[in-house]
Amino acid sequence: MKLISVIVCVLLAAGMISAQPKAYFTPEDLQIFNQYLSYIKPFKNLTKTEVLEKTAIFFLGKPYESHTLETTAGETLVVNLRAFDCTTFVETVIALSRTASSVVPSFNTYLTELQNIRYRNGAIDGYASRLHYTTDWVYENERNGKVKNISAALGGIVEMKTIGFMSAHRESYRQLKGEDATLQEIVDREKVINGRGGFAFLPKTTIAIAAPLIPHMAMIGFTTDIRGLDVSHTGFTFHDGEKLTFIHASSARQRVVIDQKTLSDYCLGQKSCTGILVSQIM
């Protein structure tokens, strides 16, 4: 224990790890984190993809719960390992996988990884600092070396779509109701996103053809024809033999599942889905 303390102090002094971010979590979250560390220990030296898979499988059957980040009055790093929506499942799996492979796989490391993934530049500065739009999430995390958008390389096309769903539906967001300053920050962020010149995605009619080239445990965003919105759902690709499906927190099945349908069939069966945005985890 003394040796671990010395290592932590040295790393803190060297700036390799930071003081614990302010976060909201329960004793059960901490218990699940410790259970995860014990579970992942035999696998932590496997490839990144294998650690991602083992981490995602650890949460199979966990309940789906919407609005899991809206539990505090102000914008705070919220940890919930008990239940997930589709986005928090993706963020949790990536952050835990990076933690498991780190020099000091502590809860503090996990909090830091999660904050760096969820917030622009890793800094919490109000509601608008959270990466709400998936294309913005991918852009920022690619810029920070955590993911690589390979949609275009897989034969994807670029959609020039105006993003503005949040500002157009402010009544659906507690933090935007009657908060004109926060709304303006969201509007400004939407302008930045729209200034990037569209986003690449793989049309749903081409997923079956591209399936052998799509990596296992790549992060996927399901692009949508809903006005002003880029992505309506997220998860990870999952190769089961020759079948390409995906693992996700499913609102329809109310838990984390490996979907029974192929990724192609799922997308073709969703009227509003136009395709997938594919990002390899780095």
Query: What CATH number is associated with residue 37?
Result: 1.10.3670.10
pLDDT, residue 76, reads 97
Asked if 267 and 139 sit in the same domain, the reply is yes
Beta bridge partners of 250: 255
> Average pLDDT in the 112-127 region?
98
Last residue of a domain, which of 85, 101, 129?
Answer: 129
Asked if 226 and 96 sit in the same domain, the reply is no
Q: What is the pLDDT of residues 221-243, one digit of tens each?
A: 999 999 999 999 999 999 999 99
| Statement: residue 13 has pLDDT above 60 | no
* Torsion 240-58-77-172 (CA) sign: positive
Higher pLDDT, 14 or 114: 114
Domain that holds residue 145: 134-281
Asked if 232 and 110 sit in the same domain, the reply is no
Query: pLDDT over 70 for what percent of the chain?
Result: 93
| Statement: residue 59 has pLDDT above 70 | yes
Asked if residue 242 is part of any domain, the answer here is yes
Last residue of a domain, which of 90, 108, 129?
Answer: 129
pLDDT confidence tier of residue 212, bands split at 50, 70 and 90 = very high
Asked if 43 and 108 sit in the same domain, the reply is yes
Asked if 180 and 210 sit in the same domain, the reply is yes
pLDDT, residue 15, reads 42
pLDDT, residue 2, reads 37
267 burial class (0-12, 13-18, 19+ CB within 10 angstroms)?
buried
pLDDT, residue 16, reads 46
pLDDT, residue 40, reads 98
Last residue of a domain, which of 87, 113, 129?
Answer: 129
For the chain, state the CA radius of gyration: 19
Kindly provide the residue ranges of all beta strands, DSSP E only, lying in the chain, ordered along the sequence: 23-24, 77-78, 147-149, 157-159, 199-203, 219-224, 231-240, 243-250, 255-258, 273-281
**Three-class DSSP category at 127:** helix
Asked if residue 243 is part of any domain, the answer here is yes
| CATH number where 213 lies | 2.30.260.10
| Statement: residue 33 has pLDDT above 60 | yes
pLDDT confidence tier of residue 21, bands split at 50, 70 and 90 = confident
pLDDT confidence tier of residue 10, bands split at 50, 70 and 90 = very low
Asked if residue 11 is part of any domain, the answer here is no
pTM of the model: 0.92
18 burial class (0-12, 13-18, 19+ CB within 10 angstroms)?
middle
> Average pLDDT in the 123-147 region?
98
Asked if 123 and 140 sit in the same domain, the reply is no
Tell me the pLDDT of the chain averaged across its residues: 93
> Average pLDDT in the 93-98 region?
98
pLDDT confidence tier of residue 55, bands split at 50, 70 and 90 = very high
Backbone angles phi, psi at 90, to 5 degrees: -60, -50
Domain count, the chain: 2
Asked if residue 259 is part of any domain, the answer here is yes
> Average pLDDT in the 131-160 region?
97
Asked if 271 and 206 sit in the same domain, the reply is yes
Query: pLDDT over 90 for what percent of the chain?
Result: 91
